[in-house]
């Protein structure tokens, strides 16, 4: 998408460079180019979003089930997970959330690119500066997409893990801090160090946010919950 946008914007800009240099405003040609690009790429993302979100949700479900099987096996249990109504609800919610987020990436990017291009025309900027601004915007968009994917992976894993624990009749878990973040949350670090117990159905009351949360639910959180299995934990 970014390569296509860069190519067509630069091509349209070159065609209108003399007018831009004379302080005229060939905004209509660039606006039309942006409209065509937006329609084309929004349609592609719309077609791809539900398939990608479905694949993502199913992948997280399989990975979560495999991880829980190992945990339960270590505790002396052998379980086979089935697609229950509760898990289906979590999967559907995960898919819907990710469809919206995937669609938001081109919507935000294309809107901001149009702003860059229009400001470039209004201020008479040369193509080099506009191209540089587009590259900077691409970097911001890539970082946002990476943050979304990491955050959604953690949230989906937390939600599916919780649903499976509840189905198995597990009541409590111990908060385990991951230690993977550059700036760990003090409350999470303390909870992990003190092996804080919490009700799986409710979550742990994080004093810093003032509400109950699940491991991995907050952005950048990589903590996990280790279930307490009676007779083994």
Per-residue pLDDT of the chain (233 residues; tens, 9 = 90+): 999 999 998 888 887 665 554 444 567 788 888 999 999 999 999 999 999 999 999 999 999 889 888 877 877 778 888 888 889 999 999 999 999 999 999 999 999 999 998 888 878 777 888 899 999 999 999 999 999 998 999 899 989 988 988 888 889 999 999 776 678 899 999 999 999 999 998 999 999 999 999 998 888 888 888 888 776 55
Same domain for 129 and 148?
A: yes
Same domain for 175 and 153?
A: no
Same domain for 147 and 195?
A: no
Q: Domain of residue 209: give its range.
A: 171-233
184 φ/ψ angles, rounded to the nearest 5 degrees: -65, 145
Helix (H/G/I), strand (E/B), else coil: 206: strand
Same domain for 194 and 119?
A: no
- pLDDT for 21 equals 46
- The token duo for 194 is 């003190």
- pLDDT for 19 equals 56
Same domain for 71 and 51?
A: yes
Q: Of the candidates 169, 197, 221, which is a domain's last residue?
A: 169
Same domain for 13 and 70?
A: yes
Reported pTM = 0.78
Same domain for 106 and 141?
A: yes
Nearby residues of 66 by Cβ (< 8 Å), 6 or more positions away: none
Same domain for 209 and 119?
A: no
Same domain for 55 and 102?
A: yes
- The token duo for 160 is 């599916």
| Structural domain total, the chain | 2
Q: Of the candidates 117, 149, 169, which is a domain's last residue?
A: 169
Same domain for 208 and 194?
A: yes
Positive/negative CA dihedral, 55, 60, 66, 72: negative
Number of CB atoms found within 10 A of residue 40's CB: 14
CA distance 168 to 209: 29
- The token duo for 91 is 């999967």
Same domain for 150 and 187?
A: no
| Placement of tokens 């479905």 in the chain | 54
Q: Of the candidates 169, 193, 217, which is a domain's last residue?
A: 169
Same domain for 150 and 204?
A: no
């Amino acid at each position: 998408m970014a390569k296509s946008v860069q190519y067509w914007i630069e091509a349209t800009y070159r065609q209108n460079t003399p007018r831009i240099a004379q302080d005229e405003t060939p905004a209509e040609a660039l606006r039309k180019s942006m409209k065509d690009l937006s329609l084309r790429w929004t349609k592609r993302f719309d077609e791809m979003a539900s398939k990608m979100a479905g694949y993502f949700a199913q992948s997280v479900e399989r990975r979560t089930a495999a991880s829980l099987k190992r945990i339960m096996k270590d505790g002396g249990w052998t379980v086979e997970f089935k697609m229950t109504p509760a898990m289906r609800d979590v999967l559907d919610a995960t898919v819907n959330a990710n469809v919206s987020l995937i669609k938001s990436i081109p919507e935000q990017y294309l809107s901001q690119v149009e702003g860059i291009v229009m400001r470039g025309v209004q201020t008479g900027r040369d193509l080099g500066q506009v191209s540089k601004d587009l590259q900077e915007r691409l970097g911001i968009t890539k970082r946002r997409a990476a943050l979304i994917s990491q955050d959604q992976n953690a949230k989906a894993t937390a939600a599916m893990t919780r649903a499976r624990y509840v189905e198995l009749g597990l009541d409590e878990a111990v908060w385990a801090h991951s230690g993977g973040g550059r700036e760990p949350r003090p409350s999470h670090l303390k909870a992990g160090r003190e092996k804080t117990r919490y009700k799986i159905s409710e979550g742990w009351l994080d004093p810093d946010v003032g509400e109950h949360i699940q491991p991995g639910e907050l952005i950048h959180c990589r903590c996990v919950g280790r279930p307490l299995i009676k007779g083994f934990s």
